Amino acid sequence: MAFDINNYLTEEKLETILVEVFGTVVRNKQFKPYRFRPDFRLDQEKIVVEFNGPNHFCDPNIISSDYHKKELIQSSG
């Protein structure tokens, strides 16, 4: 089976989908008052979307960081 990039979801494709469904999407901007920058924010819907590649599931430091980000986001409502 040949590798075909068109069959995979990319950040750009995800952004297109989010804009089509939700309209306004904030991309890669700081999530105040915290220092991290989620890939996408839908402020009216109170949704944060992170597009995680393979290293987010293999590197213990990244896994820990992602876990803490998730806790902060959830505690923010």
Q: What confidence tens digit (pLDDT) does each residue in 12-69 have?
A: 999 999 999 999 999 999 888 888 889 999 999 999 999 888 778 888 898 898 888 8
Q: What b/e sequence results for 17-46 when a residue is b if at least 16 CB atoms lie within 10 Å of its CB, and e otherwise?
A: ebeeeeeebeeeeebeeeeeebbbbbeeee
Residue 9 within a domain: no
The domain tally of the chain equals: 1
Instruction: Print the domain residue range for 55.
Output: 19-75
Structure pTM?
A: 0.75
Q: Is residue 23 part of a domain?
A: yes
Q: Tell whether 10 is covered by a domain.
A: no
